[in-house]
């Protein structure tokens, strides 16, 4: 027998966008139900952002320990470090489990109802749920919020299965591969490829573009390419993965000159990007206006159907958890009668490679395309005391500002730990800061953040330490 239940807001998906929307809406007095088939927190918390950063941290620590197995300028000696990968995976799972439990507690505290099961849309007001306990449920709502996220893109020549794995499986390996081939030199492929190389795998990267991280400008990706070479990762640019060998222990690769060769591979990680998750839950029954594979939304995250909303990866690029969270707040508050729009001046993009990359706002190419005349300046970490004391002298901070008003329109940085500068970059753009504003703010010494101040001063011709 199917049980029926009513609510004001029904959220499909409890990832970063879905659970934030549910919590915010419930706190605003909206009767909210969220449906999720998997663990609370979605891809980001359980099989994406959080576990990948945990694995990266473990790999960094192990690699650092291995670097002390010999002559170190720091005077540290470590003899033959080893890693217990099973314990590492257990530690990583503990982090995601703790955070997922925290999401559940926040939802309960806010008063949002959680239904575990697979949802299927009947119409814009009705959703059928096959619950985990086997008893079907029909949910009727005033507002339907789609927050179903995204999924890895498979390649026709390399369907997932056997030695061919996606990013989720790459995070859960129970042994270090002898030979790992990464197909795709975007941020997901390089983050995981670097981590497994530091854990001891022989790693090769295959990329159809002419350089790694093609989504970032070449000046930012160049230090990452140099790091790949130092780590012993081989990079095959302008090459395509053709398929596995007949024996399944190698990857056939074709170069731009049509030469074909074989790379040995215990595992092949396909990191060819992600796409909005639009299949499997009856989305097509709504007949929503689409933007390619993504659901088209306006500045309040409304779809083409009244009282049906969409947020996060389902709405296309940039597919970032923090974008989904911000959209979630907007939807909850608009439904509650508040005046809100999703029109950020800047959304930070962070690549957790070695070294890290941050990009916020416009770079030179985008500024030129937008017709914005700019002044820009770099400050190298080689001239930053904190960076040198951390053995992190590689990289720089770059600022871009309007030539006429000096209003800051963009920041980019590459170097160790620069992800933590992203908030300050965003603040300056959202607050409409000028070069003079950032240059005059007292920055703590010694910190990496001083490079931000010095870049602004250099753009004004006033830098002190370069």
Residues 6+ apart with CB under 8 A from 153: 270, 272, 273, 274, 275
Mean pLDDT on 255-282? 95
What is the CATH superfamily name and number for domain 3-151+276-335? FAD/NAD(P)-binding domain (3.50.50.60)
Mean pLDDT on 126-152? 94
Mean pLDDT on 333-342? 97
Residues 62-76 have pLDDT tens digits of: 999 999 987 888 888
In the beta sheet, which residues pair with residue 376? 400
What is the separation of C-alpha 134 from the centre of its chain, rounded to a whole number of angstroms? Answer: 34
Percent of the chain with pLDDT strictly greater than 70: 100
Amino acid 432: pLDDT: 97
Which one, of 417, 416, 425, lies nearest residue 394 by Cα? 416
Per-residue pLDDT at 15 exceeds 90: yes
From CA 291, how far away is CA 390, in angstroms rounded? Answer: 45
- Strands (E) in 95-233, as ranges, are 113-123, 126-131, 136-146, 150-152, 164-165, 179-183, 202-207
Amino acid 78: pLDDT: 87
Amino acid 1: pLDDT: 67
Q: Are 201 and 269 in contact (CB under 8 A)?
A: no
Question: DSSP readout, 352-411?
Answer: -SSSEEEEEE--HHHHHHTT--EEEEEEEGGG-HHHHHTT----EEEEEEETTT-BEEEE
Amino acid 233: pLDDT: 98
pTM value is 0.95
* Domain ranges within the chain, ordered by starting residue: 3-151+276-335, 164-272, 349-459
Residues 414-460 have pLDDT tens digits of: 999 999 999 999 999 999 999 999 999 999 999 999 999 999 999 99
Q: To 10 degrees, what angle do helices 49-67 and 187-198 make? A: 40
Mean pLDDT on 327-347? 97
User: 3.30.390.30, 3.30.10.20, 3.30.70.870, 3.90.400.10: which CATH number matches 349-459?
Assistant: 3.30.390.30
| pLDDT class of 334 with cuts at 50, 70, 90 | very high
Mean pLDDT on 7-20? 98
Residues 158-189 have pLDDT tens digits of: 999 999 999 999 999 999 999 999 999 999 99
Mean pLDDT on 314-334? 98
Q: Are 375 and 427 in contact (CB under 8 A)?
A: no
Q: Are 225 and 355 in contact (CB under 8 A)?
A: no
Q: Do domains 3-151+276-335 and 164-272 have the same CATH topology?
A: yes
Does the domain at 164-272 match CATH 3.50.50.60? Answer given as: yes
Per-residue pLDDT at 220 exceeds 90: yes
Compute φ and ψ for 320, nearest 5 degrees. Answer: -135, 140
| pLDDT class of 95 with cuts at 50, 70, 90 | very high
Q: Which residues participate in catalysis according to the annotation?
A: 445
């Amino acid at each position: 027998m199917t049980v029926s239940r009513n609510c004001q807001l029904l959220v499909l998906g409890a990832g970063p966008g879905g659970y934030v929307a549910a919590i915010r809406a419930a706190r605003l007095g909206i009767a909210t139900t969220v449906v999720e088939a998997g663990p609370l927190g979605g891809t980001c918390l359980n099989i994406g952002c959080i576990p990948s950063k945990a694995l990266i941290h473990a790999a960094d620590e192990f690699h650092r320990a291995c670097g002390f197995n010999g002559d170190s300028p720091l005077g540290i000696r470590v003899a033959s470090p080893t890693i217990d990968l099973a314990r590492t995976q257990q530690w990583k799972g503990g982090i995601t489990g703790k955070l997922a439990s925290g999401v559940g507690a926040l939802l309960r505290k806010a008063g949002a109802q959680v239904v575990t099961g697979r949802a299927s849309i009947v119409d814009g007001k009705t959703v059928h749920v096959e619950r985990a306990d086997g008893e079907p449920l029909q949910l009727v709502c005033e507002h339907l919020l789609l927050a179903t996220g995204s999924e890895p893109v498979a390649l026709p020549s390399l369907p997932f299965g056997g030695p061919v794995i996606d990013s989720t499986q790459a995070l859960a390996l129970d042994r270090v591969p002898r030979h790992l081939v990464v197909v795709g030199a975007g941020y997901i492929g390089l983050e995981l490829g670097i981590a497994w190389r530091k854990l001891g795998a022989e790693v090769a990267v295959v990329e159809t573009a002419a350089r790694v991280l093609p989504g970032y400008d070449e000046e930012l990706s160049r230090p990452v390419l140099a790091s790949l070479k130092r780590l012993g990762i081989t990079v095959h640019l302008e090459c395509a993965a053709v398929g596995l060998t007949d024996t399944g222990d190698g990857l056939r690769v074709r170069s731009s000159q049509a030469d074909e060769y074989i790379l040995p591979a215990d595992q092949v990680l396909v990191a060819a990007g992600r796409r909005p998750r639009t299949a499997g839950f009856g989305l097509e029954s709504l007949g929503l206006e689409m933007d390619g594979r993504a659901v088209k939304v306006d500045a309040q995250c409304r779809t083409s159907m009244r009282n049906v909303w969409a947020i996060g990866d389902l709405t296309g690029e940039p597919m970032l958890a923090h974008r989904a969270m911000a959209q979630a707040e907007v939807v909850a508050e608009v439904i509650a009668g508040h005046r809100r729009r999703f029109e950020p001046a800047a959304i930070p993009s962070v690549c957790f490679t070695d070294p890290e990359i941050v990009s916020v706002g416009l770079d030179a190419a985008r500024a030129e395309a937008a017709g914005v005349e700019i002044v820009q300046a770099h400050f190298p970490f080689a001239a930053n005391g904190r960076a040198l004391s951390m053995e992190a002298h590689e990289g720089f901070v770059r600022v871009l500002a309007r030539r006429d008003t000096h209003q800051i329109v963009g920041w980019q940085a590459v170097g160790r730990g620069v992800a933590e500068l992203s908030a300050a970059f965003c603040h300056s753009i959202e607050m409409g800061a000028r070069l003079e504003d950032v240059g005059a703010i007292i920055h703590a010494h010694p910190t990496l953040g001083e490079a931000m101040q010095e870049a602004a001063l250099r753009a004004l011709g006033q830098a002190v330490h370069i």
